[in-house]
Structures are given as C-alpha cells and as structure tokens.
Chains A and B, each alone.
Chain A
Amino acid sequence: MNNLSEIRFHGRGGQGAWTASLLLAQAGLYEGKQIQSFPAFGPERAGAPLTAFTRISDKPILIHSNVYEPDFIVVLDSTLLGSSVIKGIKKNTKIIINSNESPKDIKNKLNINLNEVWVIDATSLSLSIMGLPITNTAMLGSLIKSSNIIKLDSLISVVKERFSGKILEQNIELIKKAYEQVVMG
C-alpha cells in the first residue's frame, strides 16, 4: 500500500491542471503502472480555482474516494497559495510551487514546516520559451525532479503523443529546463 502515490494539482480554470494530471497518469501508464486521473468535480470556469488528482501505483488502485492526504502537491499559480493548498499535508508531503520566491519564504508565508518545498519560476520560464504563461508541463518536469514516481523520458514520450511541431519542441525544452532549474528548500 505504501507504493501508492497521490498527487494533487492546484490551478485556475484554463491553466491546464487537469491536463497535467492526465499527462502524469499517462506517463505512469506508459511505464505499465496503475493510474487514476480525475478533476475535482465542480463547476469549471476560466480563472476559477480548481484541483485535479493523479494516483500512481505498482499495484491495482482500488480506492475511489477523493485524495485527502496527498504525497505531492503541485501549485500552478502562486496566487492560489493559502489554506486550500496545504489542506491535508503530512510531514513528508512534497509541495512543488510555481513562484519567484524562495522555498524558505514560501514556508514562512504558508506557515508550514515540511521537509521539502520545491520552487520553480515556471511562468517566467514558459514566457521565455513559449511566449505564453502556460506552466503545466514545466510543473510536471519539476514534480519529476522532486520524486521518482515516473521517469522524465516517460513524460516526454506522452507529450510527444499529445503535441506536435513547434509546440512539442517548446514543451520538451520547458520540461527539461524546469527539471534542471527547480530548487528545493
């Protein structure tokens, strides 16, 4: 049971949080793992806060309830930082945040004492590579750096199936740079 990883994504409608959860699950599937991916079921509007979830395991996933105590929390938008983001955290929960602040500042801001807070300025990175503030693939690259739940190559393989041409190249660059640049504190 310990090999079940539960990941919660926080984003705003239109930022691709659910897509991030799907891509991560598909990368798990690519490795032959057991997966689940689902959004928090509620009204979906552009700009409104939303959450999406991924479960990855080596064994069949029987559980069909919400995720209550995530192992990983991925925050696509720093304006969402607040009580909803840290709900259900455990001491060993890892948080991966899109922010230009330091892990230490984030810990103080959220008043949390986690072992690992990972930070990447994914918005700036994405603007410089794609010219758009779309951060979901960059956040997945960062998540993979913080953990061993899947391999970076598996993510790139599923991104290749989803995108093509210039957008594909930009996303691959974004994933690799985010993987290299994310910092932990």
Chain B
Amino acid sequence: MYRDDSEKMNQKLLGLNGDEAAAYAIKQVNPEVVAAYPITPQTIIVERFSEYVANGLVDSEFVAVESEHSALSACVGASATGARAYTATAANGLALMWEILYIASGMRQPIIMSIANRALSGPLNIHNDHSDSMGARDSGWIQIYCENCQEVYDSHITAWRIAENINVQLPIMICFDGFTISHTMENVFTLNDEIVQNFIGKRVFPKITGHLGETDLRLNPTCPITMGAMDLQDYYFEHKVQQHEALLNSLEVIESVENEFSEITGREYGLIQSYMMEDADVALIGMGSVMGTTKYVVDQLRSNGIKVGLIKIRCYRPFPKEKLVKAISNCKVIGIIEKSLSFGSVGSPLYQDIKTVLYDYEKKPLIIGYVHGLGGRDTSPENLKQIFQDLLKIDNLTKKIGNQQYIGLRE
C-alpha cells in the first residue's frame, strides 16, 4: 500500500504500526546479527524480522535465544567482533537484560535495541508506561523516545550512525509507547534501501594498540586483543568517567547526524522539540506519544487565545540540559508529565532531572510533577486540558504545590 510523493523525494508512503516501522527500518539496515527471545513480552518486531530472514530479504544471522539475558549477551558478542547487532524487547524482558545492559555500554558496543515501552509486573500488566526504560536510565545507554511511527522508523536509521560514531561508541535504546505506537498503524514515509545503506555506511572502529601493533577495536583472530577484561581499583574509575563523558558528548553527534538525515528526508526532530513556547506562560514537558496529544490540546487552547506550549524531550539520555533551559525561557509555570513512578523518591525521573538543572539558574519557574498513564491508562485531551487550566490558575508567588500529582487517578 503506497503512493509516491514527489515532494518528499520519492519516499514511499506506507501504513505501518510502530513495530512494523522498526522492523522495516532494520530490514533496510540489514545488520549482521539480530538476536531475540521470541516469546512474551516480545513485540511483533522480531516476528516480522524473522519473516524477512525466512524470505531471504536480509543477510542477517537471526539468533533465537532462550532469554532476553541471552539475547543481549549474543548482541554483545556479535558486536565485539565488529558486527552490527540489533535486538528488541519490552517490560520484563528488559528487566531480565539488566546485567548485560551495563556490560554492553561498559564495553562500548554500539548495539541498537528497540523498546516498546510497557509496565513492569507485578501486578501483571502488559500495557504502556515508561517503568521499564526509566529504570535503565543510568545504565549508560543513549535513550531516544519517539512520539509516532514515523519517528520510530527514522530513529532506527539514524541510531547506527550515532552509536558507531568514533567519539560515541555506545548502545542506543529506541523507546516508543507499547500499543499506543507499537500497535497503531500510521502514515510512514520510507526511504529506498540504497539511500538507507548510503546514509548508514560501514561501521567504523577506534584504532588501538594490540599485541601485534595497531588494530581496530574488535575481536579478530589475526590480531588478538582482550575486551571486557578485569579492571580494578587502578583504572575502573577512569574508564567509567570516560564512558560518562562519551555519553555527554554524544549530544553533539546526535544533533549532527539528525541534521544530515533531515536534509534527505525533510524531517527534523532535535534533542528536544519546543512547541508554541515563544510566549507561553504555562508549558507541559514530557516524552513519547502523549506529547502528540498535548500538541493537539495546545492547538485548541491557543485557538482560544490561551498562551500555552510544550517541550517534548526526545533524547532523555544524555540529558539535553542546555537546550532545555533555553526552551523554557520565560515560562512561569511548568508541569512535567511522566509515565513512571520513582517509588519513595521526591518525584519521577524527569521531574528530578529538570528541577536539578534549573536550580543553577536565576529564573526558576514553578514546577509541578504529574504521573500519568501507568499500566496503560489513557491520558485524554480532556485530562491534559484540565492540567493546563489548573496550572494557569496557579499564582507563582502565593501557592506552592510540593507533592507529586496524578492525572486520571481514581480516588
């Protein structure tokens, strides 16, 4: 199902859900190894991809493993030899990968992983929230959160160039809302295979000194090196700080790769996206598909002359603090909406990050944290409109709301 649209450089328009958009992009990338545990909580990404393998449409070695722990382990091994490696998971599957998440980033392997965000059990719930990937926010992976299926497709292409950049060399989680995006068909413009291949190019490797002289940082029997070796009090600390710095420095790389991509596609995303923020008195900040619904609500309120806006955080790790501070500008009241709960903490993760960043700045907007959508509860335009209206009523000087608020919670 497609038609050509000459205005978009002959990109092919397809009707794809988020899972299919991810699988289609990965088919075009054609990584050497795809490893996955093909049982719940898996998505249809790997099911679709295994069809591509069976039909000979990709050259990838598809490794059906016995658990998510093994799926990511297989990716680490493959990536260490220099292969491009990909996997996909969600919810408890990601939780089971925990140990290997840190090994993948610590070994600086540019693995790409799709996360169709879902709630963590128990109680058992398979629906969308961000509990799974939010828990992995300190694991050293780049985290990108997508708003719609087009963004899912595009991110699965740009990710390789970002992860493999010689100054980055880190794995990436591409997160998109389970069901709300993963099972919803939308318009997706796709590039042709050749353009995708030209864009991603070949994987590049840092040069290191091995036993037999200079070599690529990859396992290669003709020039053996050791990877993931013992690293104790003498160097571990330095290596971890290097890893942290590489993650922070990837902000620049993400922007430059996406700029290059937007020249081909006409689609720009950025680390964050500001929407109607120039003169906004009140703004909501959040991530994922709800930010689309929030745009819809901002449009409605703006048509009634109400000055509201939003900031979508697309790149959550590394945290784009400079961009965020600039985007907040003169906004007086901010609501931060999140699909995760940080048990026993002062607020949810994004709230903590943003409040911490703004502490160092003179202009401090009033910030209120909202948790919404846990376990797949829908956040309606009416819910969001109500939040904006509540925030518009707050007097910055007189009223303080210290506690975390909830959207759509039954009392």
What residues make up the interface of A, taking CB atoms closer than 8 Å to B? 1, 22, 25-26, 29-30, 32, 34-39, 41, 61-66, 68, 158, 161
Asked if B378 is an interface residue, CB under 8 A from chain A, the answer is yes
In the assembly, what is the distance between CA of A63 and CA of B380, in Å?
9
- Chain B positions 281-317 with a Cβ under 8 Å from a chain A Cβ: 289-290, 292-293, 295-296, 299-300
Pair A26/B378 contact, Cβ less than 8 Å: no
B276 to chain A, nearest CB (A): 12
**Which residues, 115 to 154 on B, are CB-close (under 8 Å) to A?**
127, 147-148
Q: List 17 A-B contacts (CB under 8 A).
A: A1-B296, A26-B15, A29-B15, A29-B187, A32-B13, A36-B186, A37-B184, A41-B183, A62-B296, A63-B381, A64-B180, A64-B289, A65-B293, A65-B378, A66-B380, A68-B382, A158-B1
Determine if B110 is an interface residue (Cβ-Cβ < 8 Å): no
Given contacts A22-B185, A30-B1, A37-B184, contact A64 B292 (CB under 8 A): yes
Q: In the bound complex, how far is the Cα of B177 from the Cα of A1, in angstroms? A: 24
A35 touching B290 by the CB < 8 A rule?
no
Nearest residue in A to B382 (C-beta to C-beta)? A68
Interfacial chain B residues near A68, Cβ < 8 Å: 380-382
Q: Decide yes or no: A63 and B185 within 8 Å by CB, A25-B15, A32-B3 being known contacts.
A: no
Asked whether, in the complex, the Cβ of A26 is within 8 Å of the Cβ of B184, the reply is no
A41, B295: Cβ atoms under 8 Å? no
B171 within 8 A of A: no
Evaluate whether A25 and B293 lie within 8 angstroms (CB atoms) in the complex, with A66-B380, A161-B1 already known: no
B184 in contact with A29 (CB, 8 Å): no
Contact A36 B184 (CB under 8 A): yes
Please name all residues of chain B whose beta carbon is closer than 8 Å to the beta carbon of A30 when the two chains form the complex. 1, 3
Partner pick for B186 among A61, A65, A66, CB 8 A cutoff = A61
Determine how close the nearest CB of chain A comes to the CB of B136; give it in whole angstroms.
23
Given contact pairs A26-B1, A62-B299, A161-B1, a sample of 17 additional A-B residue pairs in the complex whose CB atoms are under 8 Å apart: A22-B15, A29-B13, A30-B3, A36-B184, A36-B185, A36-B186, A38-B183, A39-B183, A41-B179, A41-B183, A41-B376, A62-B293, A62-B295, A64-B147, A64-B148, A65-B378, A158-B1
Nearest B residue to A53, CB-CB: B184
Taking CB atoms, residues of chain A closer than 8 Å to B300 are 1
Within B339-389, the residues touching A (CB, 8 Å) are 376, 378-382
Cβ of B181 within 8 Å of any chain A Cβ, yes or no, is yes
Chain A residues whose CB sits within 8 angstroms of the CB of B382 once the complex forms? 68
Q: How far is the CB of B388 from chain A (nearest CB, A)?
A: 15
B: number of interface residues (CB 8 Å): 32
Give bound CA distance, A131 to B246, whole Å.
65
User: Nearest-CB distance from B126 to chain A (Å)?
Assistant: 9
In the complex, the answer to whether A35 meets B183 with C-beta atoms within 8 Å is no
- Complex contact A64–B1 (CB within 8 A): no
Interface bits B159-193 vs A (CB < 8 Å: 1, else 0): 00000000000000000010111011111000000
A66 touching B378 by the CB < 8 A rule?
Answer: yes
Distance from B188 Cβ to chain A, minimum over Cβ atoms (Å)? 10
Q: Which residues of A contact B127 (CB under 8 A)?
A: 41
Q: Output the least CB separation between B147 and chain A (Å).
A: 8
Residues in chain A near residue B181, CB distance under 8 A: 64
User: Contact: A65 with B381, CB < 8 Å?
Assistant: yes
CA distance A64 to B291 in the complex (A): 8
Set of chain B residues within 8 Å of A41, measured between Cβ atoms: 127, 179, 183, 376
Contact A35-B185, Cβ < 8 Å, known A41-B376, A62-B296, A64-B289: yes
- Is A29 within 8 A of B1, CB to CB? yes
Using known A-B contacts A62-B295, A65-B380, determine if residue A35 contacts B186 with beta carbons closer than 8 Å.
yes
What chain A residues lie within 8 Å of B148 (beta carbons)?
64
Query: Which residue of chain A is the closest to B150 with respect to CB atoms?
Result: A60
Complex interface: chain B residues within 8 A of A65 (CB): 290, 293, 378-381
CA distance A26 to B3 in the complex (A): 11
Contact of A35 among B187, B292, B380 (CB under 8 A): B187
A29 to chain B, nearest CB (A): 5
Complex formed: what's the CA distance from A158 to B376 in Å?
32
Docked CA distance A32–B290 (Å):
25
Neighbouring A residues of B147 by C-beta, 8 Å:
64
Task: For B293, list chain A residues within 8 Å (CB).
Answer: 62-65
Across the interface, name the chain A residue whose C-beta is closest to B290: A64
Q: What residues of chain A lie closer than 8 Å to B13, measured between beta carbons? A: 29, 32
